[in-house]
Amino acid sequence: MGELLGFATSFPGYLLLGVVAFCDTLIGVGFFVFGEAAFLTAGAVWAANGQIWPAFIVLFCAWAGDISSYAIGRHYGARLSLRYLNRLKRRRAWRRAKDALKRRGAAFVILSRLLGPTAWVTPFLAGSMSMKASHFAPAAAIGVLIGVGQFILLGAVGLQGFSQIAPFVTDHIGTIVLLILLLGSSVYVWRRSEAGYFMRALKAAGAAIALFLASNVAYFFVLNTHGRAIHPAPVIRSVCDIPNHPLLVHPGETSLHLPQPVNVILISKASGAELMDDLGWHQNLTFSRSRITIVSFVRLLAHKTPPVSELLLSGQPANSAFQMPGTLKTREHIRWWDFGNDVSFGAISRDDELAIKYYRQLPVLLHDIDPRVDLSRDLLAPQIENSNRFEVVGYAGLGDAVSDGVLADFQTDGRILIVADRWATISPEAIECLNITPATAS
């Protein structure tokens, strides 16, 4: 945006704004030139750095364009109108403008600047009807001041809100584009179909669904952008540094991406993957760590071990993911982030159903979790107790209790399961800074 405004204040920018404004109602080219772009830009420049010259330039050039069209109509109106009126849309605009000019004269010249396509033919028509120049010129000036002025003011006001709108558009550009395409495809199919209302609605819905599924296939299997880290990996200097890091994982970085909690922490030189291997869980493929094709995806579905979608912890995708035996609809699964210094973070939950979820920058068809994530956390604890290598140290009171799940995707008491090597000694300092209570405590 800054580069665009900078160009608009240079000599080539002034020239371009002037040419666009001049051609906005110039007969023959006005239908193909969107002068509003120049008018809005002039207003934005005015608001951004106080330079009023672009506004004066587009006002004068727009008026000069009206005068030029008037002069062309005055001298060549009858001859050019035959060529100009070869399209029905233009003939309708011509008739409306001609009738209004006969009734209202200069008043209509002023008003025409607010009437869309009519503004493109009014100056030329006024000339061809031999309206006095002394009447047309001041009326055109007033019309330009009102019609163009409104867009200049809109550009100035719009820039003030741009800083608030732009981040939202940037964050959700994928969804915005997809929604436009879904709406456009539905409207197109509806209008092209000659069937009854029910069949037209069915075809329009089918087109939207097909496009939605195609966008999902392209996103996961073609673009391959969802697994990239957004931020550098955080540094965990010691166990007592854990409370200084966010303990929520997200499918994206906006307020629309509902989080899930980190509810397991492994304090060990072993990774989260080694813990799950010891427990006998099945390791899943993930889109960030594995190359998954449509064929391999179908094979995984056949074995009821579909890939695990990405959640981000401090901008990082998970290092590994595991599941217990389940169905395509339901399964217990856990993601692990290994951040070094003998600390790994886990987020365990239960897939409960299929739903459209907001994932990175697109709505996609994914598993939705059972919000009662504590049930999954507490299911893992006795499995670890039966391990010969790892043990449950207790529960850390690091998280916040969430009871309703309205602003999140879960409900929890806020406790985090702490796991360590069996027979390892956890220092009193670590127990205190993590606020660990025994596993038997409620």
Q: List the domain boundaries for the chain.
A: 2-169, 173-223, 239-437
**Whether pLDDT at 332 is above 70:** yes
pLDDT at 272: 95
pLDDT in tens, 347-401: 999 998 888 888 877 888 888 899 999 999 999 999 999 999 999 999 998 878 8
Residue 172's pLDDT is what? 77
- Averaged over 268-291, what is the pLDDT? 92
pLDDT (0 to 100) of residue 92: 64
| Reported confidence tier of residue 283, pLDDT bands at 50, 70, 90 | very high
Q: Cα(263)–Cα(333) distance, rounded to whole angstroms?
A: 12
What pLDDT score does 228 carry?
Answer: 60
Q: Got the DSSP string for 68-85? A: HHHHHHHHHHHHHHHHHT
pLDDT of residue 442 exceeding 50 = no
SS3 254: coil
Tokens of 65: 């364009």
Which parts of 184-317 are beta strand (E)?
248-249, 260-261, 264-267, 282-284, 312-313, 316-317
Give bridge partners of residue 313 from the DSSP assignment. Answer: 316
Q: Which residue reads 């922490």 in tokens?
A: 265
Helix locations, 172-234, DSSP H: 173-192, 197-218
- Tokens representing 112 are 């025409």
pLDDT in the model for residue 285: 92
Question: For residues 358 and 251, is the Cβ–Cβ distance under 8 A?
Answer: yes
Q: What local confidence, expressed as pLDDT, does residue 165 receive?
A: 60
Helix spans in 324-427 (H): 373-385
**Cα–Cα distances in Å, from 367 out to 254, 331, 353?**
20, 10, 6
Least confident of 26-40, 151-165, 203-217: 151-165
Share of the chain above pLDDT 90, in %: 29
Hey, what are 311's tokens? 């959640």
pLDDT recorded at residue 275: 96
User: How much is the pLDDT for 117?
Assistant: 67
Q: Render pLDDT for 90-133 as a digit per residue (tens, 0 to 9).
A: 556 667 667 777 777 888 888 888 877 677 778 888 888 888 88
349: part of which helix (H) or strand (E)? Answer: strand 343-359
Spatial distance between the Cα atoms of 384 and 321, rounded to a whole number of angstroms = 17
- Residues paired with residue 367 on neighbouring β-strands, in sequence order: 354
* pLDDT exceeds cutoff 80 at 421: yes
Distance CA 438, CA 42 (A): 67
Amino acid 359: pLDDT: 82
Query: Contact 35/152 with Cβ under 8 angstroms?
Result: no
Whole-number pLDDT of residue 334: 97
pLDDT at 384: 95
